[in-house]
Structure 1
């Protein structure tokens, strides 16, 4: 396992990470982050860890930048898990093109935020791809999402960060099942969909 005892593990992102952690499902939410926390705790009970969820529904990388000092740097993580980009793409396909984040801005902003967190706290990073639960890679939104995921892969390599291939995890299950088994809108998973994401994270965390 990549964690050591008494480390602080912070997850930050959008609604997929949030999952009600700010209200009825406080403090961890009821999505993949809480599944990861529960399974790591169950598998490694002798390794005490502090878990923090700082997902906020609707966020793009621009929104992340606005709260980065408080919710990332200020949390003083030992490990910072970042999954962002779904809304950056989706807004362009949901009639809100002014709120979509162009690919070059997405890459530059995310690189700046990640370097800031490492420089300020010495944390280790884990980067996860944005995804679309869509098997047709020629689908316009899926094709665009893949471009943003490629940026995350490049940043993970550049920064020496473990990389969680969430899109590949969904592609694996979509080879034998329909998208509706995992989410109604191709974005917000139900519990089995969150389990797919959590499993991808666990493969990175536990080796």
Structure 2
């Protein structure tokens, strides 16, 4: 199975000493269980949903052959809600939802698609309120378009290892233990398990 993971620095695994992030870890677990996975991490540091919407189709087309077993995993939104230079969110709420809807409509028409919700940040409760709202709204959009959605914000927000690792690192990204937390959540997700069982 060939899988493209599209997202931002949290999808990329920025800050992970092992350079795996959660996507690399969940694919490693799949390979260890005997699944033949080709893994493409398309996470780009700083990307918003607008950036991902603009690039995902061309990048996926280059990596996922038609007629073969392939899949897409999206995870974005934290950068949409983070404060820009003017203190406002980098993208307005209407754009966040419009971009998410565009991905959720187009992607499943081409390949099986999963979506992992946005992660929290530390020391910015205004951004976290926006992220929490976006996560709920994206979950509703995904349900409406029959795309499996994994909400991770609530489980991670108050997780002490996540908080500590982000504080010790660059103030935004966790280390290996933080990414392992997300990988464990994805690995236990029935939608991912269905992919691994197929």
TM-score, with structure 2 as normaliser = 0.80
Distance 1:158 1:35 in 2: 29
2:99 corresponding residue in structure 1: 109
1:58 corresponding residue in structure 2: 46
Deviations 1:170-199 (A, max 9, x none): 14x62xx36532312663111111011111
SS at the partner of 1:153?
A: helix
TM-score, with structure 1 as normaliser = 0.77
Distance 2:32 2:63 in 1: 24
Match 2:85 to one of 95, 104, 119: 95
Superposed CA RMSD in Å reads: 2.7
Whether 2:16 is the aligned partner of 1:11: answer no
**How big is the shift at 1:99?**
7.0
Match 2:133 to one of 129, 143, 147: 147
- Kept in 2, the 8 Å contact 1:9–1:78? The answer is yes
Deviations 1:61-94 (A, max 9, x none): 111122122223443372211001111111x2x5
Pair 1:56–1:195, CA change in 2 (3 A): same
**How big is the shift at 1:41?**
1.3
**How big is the shift at 1:39?**
1.1
1:83 corresponding residue in structure 2: 75
1:32 corresponding residue in structure 2: 22
Deviations 1:3-24 (A, max 9, x none): xxxx22111100111236xxxx
SS at the partner of 1:79?
A: strand
- Kept in 1, the 8 Å contact 2:115–2:150? The answer is yes
1:198 corresponding residue in structure 2: 183
Distance 1:128 1:105 in 2: 19
Q: Which runs of 5+ in 1 are unaligned?
A: 1-6
Q: Which runs of 5+ in 2 are unaligned?
A: none
- Kept in 2, the 8 Å contact 1:130–1:166? The answer is yes
2:108 corresponding residue in structure 1: 118
Whether 2:164 is the aligned partner of 1:181: answer yes
Pair 1:78–1:64, CA change in 2 (3 A): same
SS at the partner of 2:188?
A: helix
